[in-house]
Structure 1
């Protein structure tokens, strides 16, 4: 039963983020979220009482996944293989969990800035930027390492890179560019 409840919560979060991105956070009602999910408002209230609660749970989940990734990455050696694996894990999280929140943040920047969990995300993203840096590397290599992480993240922002590519192809290109930025050549 717990698995089913988690699945429903995940669906609510996903659909709410889609609506918040399409219509704007302030213009989306809980009734619209329930309607899109084809559930009743009381069923939605069982999981989340407010839009703020939905968004806070999504942001907390993202913060948790960033913290986990950063902790894992810091335990890895600074080999090119492990750095490439870190990039792959960032890309995978974007693909599977973060992309919808990044889209939401683009459309609803003010809402994200006002959220208490917003600071946690900023801190986590800053920590993530330094994951690929090799200790003792020169400033250019340090900068390239940070740009590699940003390349993967920005590859999920369609309006910045309108190259006529679909999402998956744009993400693949971003990962290829990021990998070149951390290569040893």
Structure 2
């Protein structure tokens, strides 16, 4: 469990990363916003990348757990669960969209394509046509996009429409 100071650093860093991008946020800005010295910040995080990694890691662990523990089943239920996962991590997804360099952290670019392939297999099986793969990519990408684009709305207003649209993209 992170210390209060570590959690506060992550909270302020997340806010600044979201508003001005990871690359445009310095550790000095974070420490000044918190009213602590840079050495105090360095005590908890050795670099900006280390701090970004600590913010992104929970999402990585959740997605990895999701794709490895799910079994094929009802595609609509899986789409709904995936939407909820994306919704929980919409701030991190937004950080990655606004500052693509964040994808370099923890080799996220490669991992995201792997997760998507595994999710597509869970949704539709492994013997798919090119069209089915494309539709599944649109469905999953659309769910993630809705969690970011409509984050200002209540989840229970966004989820049904997003899941239905993803199901339609899959031809369900």
How would you bin the TM-score normalised by the shorter chain? 0.7 to 0.9
Q: Stretches of 4+ moved more than 6 A in 1?
A: none
Gaps (5+ residues) in structure 2?
none
1:93 is displaced (CA, Å) by 1.7
Aligned length: 168
Q: Name the Cα RMSD after superposition.
A: 3.1
Sort the Cα spacing of 1:108 and 1:135 in 2 relative to 1 into closer, same or farther, 3 A. Answer: closer
Q: Tell me which residue corresponds to 2:83.
A: 91
Question: Whose RCO is larger (CA < 8 A, sep 6+)?
Answer: 2
1:71 is displaced (CA, Å) by 0.6
Q: Which whole-Å deviations, capped at 9, do the CAs of 1:65-94 have from their partners, x for residues lacking one?
A: 221111112xx233x2xx223222222222
Q: Is the 8 A contact 1:145 1:181 kept in 2?
A: yes
Sort the Cα spacing of 1:138 and 1:174 in 2 relative to 1 into closer, same or farther, 3 A. Answer: same
Q: Tell me which residue corresponds to 2:18.
A: 21
Q: Is the 8 A contact 1:63 1:121 kept in 2?
A: no
Q: Is the 8 A contact 1:60 1:117 kept in 2?
A: no
Whether 1:112 aligns to 2:111 is no
- Structure 2 distance, partners of 1:77, 1:170, is 24
1:9 is displaced (CA, Å) by 4.2
Sort the Cα spacing of 1:171 and 1:84 in 2 relative to 1 into closer, same or farther, 3 A. Answer: closer
Q: Tell me which residue corresponds to 2:63.
A: 66
Secondary structure, in 3 states, of the residue corresponding to 2:25?
A: coil
Gaps (5+ residues) in structure 1?
none
- Structure 2 distance, partners of 1:4, 1:116, is 20
TM-score by structure 1 length? Answer: 0.70
